[in-house]
Structure 1
């Protein structure tokens, strides 16, 4: 028996809803869940990509009718309400809600392109909030085991320079998912857990290149790691990749928190006065 098959929420016949399911990690999850015998709902912007993704998942499912594709713009709460209604009508309340849809376009610096900033937050943050608020009333109605998985980013923890809007969206998502996990575990009569998926460098549509870079993981590798982490009950599903080990991630994240604790300049990892200190930190045994 695999680790994943020991999770009641991922048993054959259960229901999984995945946003951003037309490509990347979302598609890899949809295909894996279909192989595992779950009924799978793929949500993404409507079009050929979503149709093709649903066909791939249906080809792996125990029965073709176990897969449903629903065109969805996660930035619109009305779309998530329709998604929840169609899921309930076809399969029932989801046992797995994977709020995975996201965009990585860089709208520019902190003082420009207000519309681009709004779009980033509408998808990466509000898209998740919309998903939770649309589905949670169904999911808390009984004591059946269920999981909510929100796809975050390491950039929401270390917030490197380069795409401030993306960092802000994912940092807010981390705080939101932590609050969700706390509320769920303190709600009597529920068996729902929340988890923050934190991929490393992954070859997806956001990567922006046609071929997988050597340092990147595939979406399938991320899903494998996610399933093993869920089986352990991990909240923070911190994925490595082919370039970055967990030890490196831990040191980078510890340095980021050290900026607050030691009152260093913001983002001191990239500050010229701290170049040598950060290098020594990364080489240390601690």
Structure 2
């Protein structure tokens, strides 16, 4: 058993943000099914109460706005007092609304506040105690392929998820320096997933999308394998396509190509050839 999978042992405690629906709820269900106690963190409301009631014994609804550092710090203190040490922290809460560079400043602040500072608040409030507890523990932060390949149209979201990637990479290094492999960090990188955030009012899952449960299955397999980058596919994108798109994005810098050359008309044929190789 690896230290990461040891953290997932029955009886341990998991804290999941954004747990009222989507990937967060799927993760809470999976952890609970493995015998973990689960604190489901989300904004107060029926969805959160319903999610905790569905899981039943061992599940606790914890209303909190993750963008508010004081609320998250208070939550961490409350969880420690009421439930004991945290073995699994999944910073998953996120919103998809945003816009391009010229979107309103308040929209940008909301997206960055939830998607990036929500993760930072979770890390800073919970992880020091996980380190001090001297037991196996793991942190999973939910990123996005958009934080790597930067498709145009929702720059605010891309920036927030780019920040999550950099934050989690830095966290992994710090944890390795301080704990060896006892406390580990992992970056979950979902593909096209059918959730409340992506559904936009639709009730039927598109054929191309994965479910939240499929993402969580991939996540757990990645944790068990010791992966840092847990790259998820979907039903319309293969692993090889993902790899080629990621390499192309990195080569924009290495080859000094125009920004986002994948979508630049002068580079369309070059990108098509790259994908066809």
TM-score class, shorter-chain normalisation, is over 0.9
Q: Answer yes or no: is 1:273 the counterpart of 2:271.
A: no
Match of 1:251 among 244, 247, 256: 244
- The whole-number CA distance in structure 2 between the counterparts of 1:140 and 1:5 is 13
In structure 1, the partner of 2:92 is 100
Match of 1:136 among 121, 127, 143: 127
Instruction: Tell me, yes or no, if the aligned pair for 2:37 and 2:59 is still in contact at 8 Å.
Output: yes
Q: CA deviation at 1:4?
A: 9.6
SS in 2 for 1:128: helix
In structure 2, the partner of 1:87 is 79
Task: Encode CA deviations 1:152-198: one digit per residue, 9 max, x unaligned.
Answer: 00000000001000000000110010000000000147710000000
Structure 1: runs of 5+ lacking an equivalent: 59-63
In structure 2, the partner of 1:200 is 191
SS in 1 for 2:248: helix
Q: Answer yes or no: is 1:148 the counterpart of 2:146.
A: no
Instruction: Tell me, yes or no, if the aligned pair for 1:21 and 1:101 is still in contact at 8 Å.
Output: yes
Instruction: Sort the Cα spacing of 1:247 and 1:7 in 2 relative to 1 into closer, same or farther, 3 A.
Output: same
TM-score normalised by L of structure 1: 0.93
Instruction: Tell me, yes or no, if the aligned pair for 1:4 and 1:228 is still in contact at 8 Å.
Output: no
In structure 1, the partner of 2:20 is 22
Q: Answer yes or no: is 1:162 the counterpart of 2:153.
A: yes
- The whole-number CA distance in structure 2 between the counterparts of 1:5 and 1:224 is 19
Instruction: Tell me, yes or no, if the aligned pair for 1:195 and 1:234 is still in contact at 8 Å.
Output: yes
Task: Encode CA deviations 1:252-285: one digit per residue, 9 max, x unaligned.
Answer: 000001111111100000000011110000010x
Instruction: Sort the Cα spacing of 1:44 and 1:183 in 2 relative to 1 into closer, same or farther, 3 A.
Output: same
- The whole-number CA distance in structure 1 between the counterparts of 2:51 and 2:144 is 24
TM-score normalised by L of structure 2: 0.96
Q: CA deviation at 1:109?
A: 2.4
Instruction: Tell me, yes or no, if the aligned pair for 2:4 and 2:223 is still in contact at 8 Å.
Output: no
Q: Which residues in structure 2 correspond to 1:229-240 (within 5 Å)?
A: 229-240=222-233
In structure 2, the partner of 1:55 is 53
- The whole-number CA distance in structure 2 between the counterparts of 1:164 and 1:4 is 38
In structure 2, the partner of 1:61 is none
**Where do 4+ consecutive residues of structure 1 move more than 4 Å?**
3-6
SS in 2 for 1:88: helix
Q: Which residues in structure 2 correspond to 1:167-182 (within 5 Å)?
A: 167-182=158-173
Instruction: Tell me, yes or no, if the aligned pair for 2:85 and 2:133 is still in contact at 8 Å.
Output: no
In structure 2, the partner of 1:213 is 206
Structure 2: runs of 5+ lacking an equivalent: none
